[in-house]
C-alpha cells in the first residue's frame, strides 16, 4: 500500500512504515529478533486464515506454528516426494486462502521451490509459458476452464480434425486408466499414444510451459474425463481433501498411487473417521486451535472426544481412499426423502463446454432445477454451425432456436444421472457468477446462499407448477 493510501486509516499501515518501524526496533536492540524467536512455542498462534464463507460469515481459523510444521512434515513423508529445490511453481491462488498459504508458501520455502506469482488470472497461460512451471496448485474451476477452452477450439476445426481429436482422446483415456490401475500398456496402444501425444497432448503441455509434471485439482469434485485428459498429457492430476480448519490437506493422493474420484489416503499421522450420519471427523496436529474470538462456534465444531466435525459427507473405499460425497449443508433432501449431492450433478453439467457454471436447487422440492451460465464463445460456434443469426453473442440467450439447443444439451447431461437426480427445469443467468458479483469465493467456489437469494424470483418461477399441484391435488395445465 502506498503511503498516501494509508493516511487517515488508524488500523492500516503502509509497507514503508512497517519497514521503518522494524529498522527502529533493530537499532534499539539488534538481538530482539533472536530473543523473540526463542520464546515462540509450537502452540503459539502463527496466522489467522479466514474461511471462504460459502455457508455463512467467514471465521478466522487460528493456525499455530505447530499446525504449519505438522503439515510440512506430513507432506514430506508422502512418497515419492512431491517436489525438490529444482522445481518451479507459478502461483495464482490468493495468499489469503489456506491452500496457497500453507502448501504454496510455507511448504515451498521448506523444499526450496522457486515460486513466481502470476500477474492475474487473465494472464495465466502467458505466465505459464514464460516461467515454465513443473508444478501448479490449481482448483477444479481452472482445470475445467482449460479443458472447455480446448473443446471449444476443437469445435471450430474441420470434421476430420474433430474425428482425429476424439480418437486421440479415447486413446488418452485408455492410457490414463491403465496408468491409474498400474497395468502394463500394450505395444499397439503405446504406438497409438505416441502419435496422439505428438498431435494433441503435447500442445497442452506446451501451453502450460512444456515441463509440467503434476497439478492439483483440490477443493471440489472434478469430472473424471477432465482429469484423464490432463493425465494423458503426462500431467498427473493430484486430488486431495482439506479445509481451512485443517491447515489445508487432511488426505491426499500420491504421485505413485492415485484413484480418480477419490481424495487419496489420510495424510501421514492423520486420524480420520466417519460418523454414523456420514460426516467426516478429523483429528491431528494440523487441526486449528479454534476460531478467533468465537468460543461458542469453536465448541460447536468439535466432538466431545476432540474430533473436528468437517461438515462434509464421505466414506472410505476398499483401498482406504477417502471419497467426498458433498457438503453436509449442501446435501439436498427432496420432498420425497431422497438425499442428493448437488456437486456431482453440477460437475456433470460443467463437463459440457456449453455450461460455464451450473448450480442445482431442490431442497424440500419434488424435483430438481438449476441456474446456469452459458459460455458465449461456445454459443457462437454452435449458432454459426446451425446458421442461427445474431448481432451480439448475448442475443443468443433470447433466441428460441438456440434455447432449444441448450435444452438438448440439458437432456443429454440428464442421461448420465439417475431419474431422481435429473434437472426438470432451469434458467439461464446472463451475467456470469463472479467474485465481483459476490457469487463466488476467491478460489472460485459458488456461494449458494448468495445465488439463491439473488435469484429467488427465478427459483420460485420454476416451482410455481409444483405449488399449484399441491394446492389443487392435480397437475397444472
Q: In this structure, is residue 94 part of a structural domain? A: yes
Do 345 and 432 belong together in one domain?
A: yes
Alpha carbon 137 to chain centroid distance?
A: 10
For helices 342-350 and 400-414, the axis angle rounded to 10 degrees is: 130
Instruction: Give yes or no: residues 175 and 322 share one domain.
Output: yes
Per-residue DSSP letters for 223-249? Answer: -HHHHHHHHHTT-EEE-EEEEGGGTEE
* Helical (H) or strand (E) element with 454: helix 448-454
Range from 12-26, 207-221, 321-335, 365-379 that averages highest in pLDDT: 365-379
Considering the domain architecture, whether residues 336 and 323 belong to the same structural domain is answered as no
Q: Looking at 307, 327, 347, which one is the last position of a domain?
A: 327
- Domain identity same for 268 and 360: no
Is 428 in contact with 397 (CB distance < 8 Å)?
yes
d(C-alpha 380, C-alpha 386), whole Å: 10
SS3 467: helix
Global pTM value: 0.77
Would residue 51 count as lying in a domain?
A: no
CATH number of the domain that residue 108 is part of: 3.40.50.12780
Q: Are 218 and 193 in contact (CB under 8 A)?
A: no
Whether 312 and 343 share a structural domain: no
Residue 372: phi and psi, rounded to 5, are: -140, 155
Tens-digit pLDDT profile for residues 224-274: 889 999 999 999 999 999 999 999 999 999 999 889 989 999 999 999 999
Domain boundary among 300, 327, 354: 327
Within-domain flag for 59: no
- Whether residue 21 lies inside any domain: the answer is yes
Q: Are 288 and 45 in contact (CB under 8 A)?
A: no
Q: CA angle at residue 133 from 132 to 137, to 5 degrees?
A: 145
Shared domain for 311 and 345, answered yes or no, is no
Rounded distance between C-alpha atoms, residue 355 and residue 85, angstroms: 40
Domain of 426, in residue numbers: 332-466
Q: Rounded distance, CA 246 to CA 336, Å?
A: 35
Domain membership flag for residue 61: no
| Dist. CA 377–CA 328, nearest whole Å | 35
240 and 144 within one domain: yes
CB contact at 8 A, 290 and 281: no
Question: Do both 33 and 173 map to the same domain?
Answer: no
Q: How far apart are CA 101 and CA 114, in angstroms?
A: 15
Domain boundary among 277, 306, 327: 327
Residue carrying the nine cell digits 480446448? 150
| Cis bond upstream, residue 100 (ω within 30) | no
Q: In angstroms, rounded to a whole number, what is the distance separating the alpha carbons of residues 103 and 247?
A: 9
Q: Residue 147 corresponds to which cell in the numbers above? A: 479443458
Shared domain check, 433 and 411: yes
User: Which pLDDT tens digit goes with each residue over 10-50?
Assistant: 788 888 889 999 999 999 999 999 999 999 999 999 999 99
Closest CA to 444 of 350, 323, 309: 350
* CA 162 – CA 17 distance, rounded (Å): 59
- Summarised one tens digit per residue, pLDDT across range 56-101 is 678 999 999 999 999 999 999 999 999 999 999 999 988 888 999 9
Strand partners, 339: 333
Instruction: Tell me phi and psi for residue 423, to 5 degrees.
Output: -85, 115
- Same domain? 169 vs 284: yes
Q: What is the pLDDT confidence band of residue 290, given thresholds at 50, 70 and 90?
A: very high
Question: Does 16 map to a domain?
Answer: yes
The domain tally of the chain equals 3
The pLDDT assigned to 10 comes to: 78
Question: What pLDDT, on a 0 to 100 scale, did the predictor assign at position 2?
Answer: 53
* Domain match, 164 and 242 both: yes
Query: Does 323 share its domain with 461?
Result: no
Amino acid at each position: 500500500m502506498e503511503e498516501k493510501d494509508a493516511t487517515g486509516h488508524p488500523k492500516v499501515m503502509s509497507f514503508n512504515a512497517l519497514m521503518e518501524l522494524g529498522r527502529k526496533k533493530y537499532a534499539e536492540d539488534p538481538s530482539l529478533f533472536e530473543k523473540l524467536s526463542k520464546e515462540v512455542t509450537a502452540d503459539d498462534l502463527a496466522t489467522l486464515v479466514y474461511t471462504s464463507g460459502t455457508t455463512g460469515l467467514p471465521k478466522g481459523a487460528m493456525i499455530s506454528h505447530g499446525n504449519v510444521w505438522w503439515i510440512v512434515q506430513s507432506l514430506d513423508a508422502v512418497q515419492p516426494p512431491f517436489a525438490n529445490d529444482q522445481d518451479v511453481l507459478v502461483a495464482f491462488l490468493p495468499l489469503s486462502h489456506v491452500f496457497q498459504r500453507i502448501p504454496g508458501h510455507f511448504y515451498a520455502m521448506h523444499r526450496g521451490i522457486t515460486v513466481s506469482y502470476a500477474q492475474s488470472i487473465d494472464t495465466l497461460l502467458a505466465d505459464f509459458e514464460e516461467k515454465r512451471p513443473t508444478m501448479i496448485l490449481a482448483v477444479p474451476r481452472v482445470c475445467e476452464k482449460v479443458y472447455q477452452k480446448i473443446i471449444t477450439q476443437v469445435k471450430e476445426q474441420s470434421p476430420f480434425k474433430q474425428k482425429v481429436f476424439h480418437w486421440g482422446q479415447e486413446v488418452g483415456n485408455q492410457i490414463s486408466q491403465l496408468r491409474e490401475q498400474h497395468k502394463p500398456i500394450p505395444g499397439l496402444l503405446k504406438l497409438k499414444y505416441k502419435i496422439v501425444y505428438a498431435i494433441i497432448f503435447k500442445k497442452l503441455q506446451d501451453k502450460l510451459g512444456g515441463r509440467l509434471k503434476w497439478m492439483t485439482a483440490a477443493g471440489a469434485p472434478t469430472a473424471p474425463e477432465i482429469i484423464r485428459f490432463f493425465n494423458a498429457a503426462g500431467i498427473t492430476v493430484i486430488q486431495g481433501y482439506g479445509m481451512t480448519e485443517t491447515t489445508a490437506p487432511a488426505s491426499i493422493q500420491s504421485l505413485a498411487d492415485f484413484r480418480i474420484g477419490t481424495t487419496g489416503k489420510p495424510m501421514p499421522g492423520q486420524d480420520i473417521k466417519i460418523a454414523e450420519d456420514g460426516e467426516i471427523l478429523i483429528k491431528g496436529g494440523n487441526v486449528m486451535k479454534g476460531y478467533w474470538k468465537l468460543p461458542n462456534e469453536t465448541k460447536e465444531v468439535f466432538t466431545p472426544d476432540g474430533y473436528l466435525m468437517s461438515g462434509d459427507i464421505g466414506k472410505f473405499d476398499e483401498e482406504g481412499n477417502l471419497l467426498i460425497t458433498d457438503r453436509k449443508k449442501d446435501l439436498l433432501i427432496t420432498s420425497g426423502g431422497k438425499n442428493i449431492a448437488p456437486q456431482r450433478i453440477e460437475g456433470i453439467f460443467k463437463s459440457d463446454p456449453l455450461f460455464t457454471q451450473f448450480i442445482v436447487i431442490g431442497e424440500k422440492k419434488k424435483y430438481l432445477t438449476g441456474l446456469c451460465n452459458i459460455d458465449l464463445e461456445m454459443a457462437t460456434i454452435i449458432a454459426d454451425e446451425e446458421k442461427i443469426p445474431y448481432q451480439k453473442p448475448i442475443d443468443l440467450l433470447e433466441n428460441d432456436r438456440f434455447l432449444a439447443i441448450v435444452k438438448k444439451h440439458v437432456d443429454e447431461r440428464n442421461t448420465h444421472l439417475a431419474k431422481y437426480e435429473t434437472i426438470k427445469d432451469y434458467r439461464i443467468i446472463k451475467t456470469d457468477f463472479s467474485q465481483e458479483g459476490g457469487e463466488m469465493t476467491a478460489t472460485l467456489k459458488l456461494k449458494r446462499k448468495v445465488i439463491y437469494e439473488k435469484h429467488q424470483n427465478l427459483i420460485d418461477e420454476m416451482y410455481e407448477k409444483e405449488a399449484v399441484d399441491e394446492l389443487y391435488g392435480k397437475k397444472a395445465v
